[in-house]
């Protein structure tokens, strides 16, 4: 197929495009300008400008068979928007609606959209999250991803365009940023982390496994109209993750056994409650449907994914840390 990828130069896109090329697809990246940074070799590109509710897609979609929509406004560490909710909605909901409507009018065969487990919620106390659960997003990103899923379904209902949605937990791999990179830096520096007593359970997803799942969602006939949650297949505690990262980096983990309750109190006092909640709480996803219905299996184990991420981390240079062009997905 000839596949248009939005967010192709972002974190997930840099893993997905080579995977699609390996599958024999022709890949076209929808980019902000004519000189994109970080585009994989063999990927063509077409400039569509900023991702907005008014983006003109017609020329970019000419001759395209399918779309993988990765571009989104993701987590903003230092928010500057006067109305953050509206900023998320403008890109994640309204721009997605525009793309989905155009795809349906032009008869694009399939549109795969990258979503997030945040549509389900922030934590699990018992059973893992599944696509059948009622959505319960708790932040602007999760709410707008939920609404984007709704708009995608509305735009494609009764048309020849088949919509597929994948929701992921935390994604890691070469090029990862945010909290995962911060944790890797702390472990690599030999800092003592007060996480030794954390006995939670969290699903993770290596970017190479996500790329494989996206390709399966693009290709498999039974994926049409479905929503799938994806994970590596092995859930880890926060303390266990630190130990695995340390092993991948070839360093000794330094963990101090501080009770989770004490950490949560400290989080409230320091204004870091949400971050501490993620470190101490559980979040598991059920990926049984994508395995049973599409026959998907993650090509990388957790340890393999962490080893590849650690190899990238140790080999970084100034050039490797260039900010990717366009919006990212994670």
Instruction: Tell me which residues are annotated as active site.
Output: 141
| Beta carbons of 137 and 147 less than 8 angstroms apart | no
CA–CA dist 93, 96 (Å, integer)? 5
């Amino acid at each position: 197929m000839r596949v248009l990828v939005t967010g192709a130069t972002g974190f997930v896109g840099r893993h997905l495009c080579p995977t699609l090329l390996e599958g024999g697809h022709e890949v076209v990246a929808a980019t902000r300008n004519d000189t994109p940074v970080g585009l994989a070799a063999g990927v063509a590109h077409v400039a569509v400008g900023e991702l907005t509710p008014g983006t003109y897609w017609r020329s970019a979609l000419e001759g395209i068979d399918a779309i993988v929509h990765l571009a989104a406004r993701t987590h903003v560490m230092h928010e500057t928007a006067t109305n953050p909710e509206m900023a998320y909605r403008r890109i994640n909901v309204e721009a997605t609606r525009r793309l989905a409507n155009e795809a349906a009018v032009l008869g694009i065969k399939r549109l795969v959209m990258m979503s997030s487990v945040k549509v389900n919620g922030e934590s699990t106390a018992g059973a893992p999250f599944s696509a059948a659960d009622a959505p319960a997003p708790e932040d602007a990103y999760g709410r707008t991803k939920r609404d984007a899923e709704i708009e995608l379904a509305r735009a494609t209902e009764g048309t020849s365009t088949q919509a597929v949605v994948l929701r992921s937990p935390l994604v890691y791999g070469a090029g990862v940023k945010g909290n995962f990179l911060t944790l890797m830096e702390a472990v690599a520096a030999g800092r003592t982390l007060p996480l030794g007593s954390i006995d939670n359970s969290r699903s993770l997803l290596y970017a190479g496994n996500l790329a494989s799942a996206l390709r399966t969602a693009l290709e498999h006939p039974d994926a049409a109209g479905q929503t799938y949650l994806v994970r590596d297949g092995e859930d880890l505690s926060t303390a266990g993750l630190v130990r695995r990262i340390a092993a991948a980096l070839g360093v000794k983990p330094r963990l101090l056994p501080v009770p989770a309750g004490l950490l949560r109190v400290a989080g409230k006092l320091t204004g870091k409650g949400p971050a501490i909640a993620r470190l101490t709480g559980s979040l598991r996803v059920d990926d049984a449907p994508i395995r049973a219905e599409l026959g998907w299996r993650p090509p990388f184990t957790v340890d393999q994914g962490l080893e590849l991420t650690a190899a990238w981390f140790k080999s970084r240079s100034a050039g490797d840390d260039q900010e990717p062009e366009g919006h990212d997905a994670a």
